[in-house]
């Protein structure tokens, strides 16, 4: 794993803890590695792996009904899986905070990531979600803090899109060298 100079996950973790987030439903993504590791190590948040992103909307609804706050974590390719489920947020009027790590942007190498990566923000906005963006690791904490306040104080759906510049460039190693995939300047992909 490469040394991390500035990792957006550190600021986001502090912001989530400060906002009282307890449940973190997520679909695994390398861009979330640092944030998930920090959440697993603290005794305040509970990451829960999902099999599909739309399940996280239901988990968030249940958390809210049970008196807890949650944040749904996913990669941009999973946004399309949530569109129908997002109607639950509007109809039942509960807060939803999402953190979405982006693909299909700056220095993307995988053409399959382009369609949703280029359109995730627009799809979320069409579904009634307020969208904020993070383009540098240093801005993550402040942006997540503001998004959490907006979501929970106004009972709204808010997504923070973490741009590829903040995450780092993904490189996939060859099976022969055993390197797997890494984020340049970040953690494992």
Instruction: Indicate which CATH number applies to the domain containing 105.
Output: 3.40.50.970
Q: With respect to residue 3, please indicate whether it lies within any of the assigned structural domains.
A: no
Q: With respect to residue 125, please indicate whether it lies within any of the assigned structural domains.
A: yes
Q: What is the pTM of this model?
A: 0.88
Work out the pLDDT band at 168, boundaries 50, 70, 90.
confident
As given in the structure block, the two tokens for residue 113 are 């990531």
Mean pLDDT of the chain: 89
- Pair 133, 105: CB distance under 8 Å: no
Reference 135, options 106, 172, 158; nearest CA is: 106
Structure confidence by residue, pLDDT tens digits, 54-71: 999 999 999 999 999 999
Q: Specify the number of domains making up the chain.
A: 1
Q: With respect to residue 142, please indicate whether it lies within any of the assigned structural domains.
A: yes
Domain range spanning residue 150? 8-184
Structure confidence by residue, pLDDT tens digits, 89-139: 999 999 999 999 999 998 998 999 999 999 999 999 999 999 999 999 999
Q: With respect to residue 102, please indicate whether it lies within any of the assigned structural domains.
A: yes
Reference 117, options 129, 133, 102; nearest CA is: 102
What does the alpha-carbon distance between residue 153 and residue 156 come to, in Å, rounded to a whole number? Answer: 8
Q: What is the mean pLDDT of residues 15-20?
A: 98
Look at residue 186 in the predicted model and tell me its pLDDT.
46
Look at residue 179 in the predicted model and tell me its pLDDT.
46
Q: With respect to residue 89, please indicate whether it lies within any of the assigned structural domains.
A: yes
What does the alpha-carbon distance between residue 113 and residue 158 come to, in Å, rounded to a whole number? Answer: 22
Q: With respect to residue 57, please indicate whether it lies within any of the assigned structural domains.
A: yes
Pairing mode of beta strands 157-162, 96-101: parallel
Q: With respect to residue 1, please indicate whether it lies within any of the assigned structural domains.
A: no
Q: With respect to residue 189, please indicate whether it lies within any of the assigned structural domains.
A: no
């Amino acid at each position: 794993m490469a040394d991390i100079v500035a990792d957006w996950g550190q600021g986001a973790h502090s912001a989530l803890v400060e906002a009282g987030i307890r449940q973190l439903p997520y679909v695994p993504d390398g861009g979330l590695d640092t944030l998930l590791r920090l959440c697993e190590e603290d005794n305040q948040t509970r990451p829960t792996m999902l099999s599909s992103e739309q399940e996280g909307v239901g988990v968030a609804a249940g958390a809210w009904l049970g008196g807890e706050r949650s944040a749904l974590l996913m990669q941009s390719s999973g946004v399309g899986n949530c569109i129908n489920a997002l109607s639950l947020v509007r109809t039942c009027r509960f807060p939803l905070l999402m953190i979405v790590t982006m693909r299909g942007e700056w220095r993307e190498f995988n053409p399959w990531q382009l369609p949703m990566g280029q359109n995730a923000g627009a799809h979320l906005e069409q579904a009634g979600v307020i969208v904020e963006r993070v383009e540098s690791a240093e801005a993550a904490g402040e942006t997540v803090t503001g998004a959490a306040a907006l979501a929970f104080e106004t009972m709204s759906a808010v997504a923070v899109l973490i741009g590829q510049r903040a995450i780092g460039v993904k490189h996939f190693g060859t099976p022969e060298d055993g390197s797997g995939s890494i984020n340049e300047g970040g953690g494992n992909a």
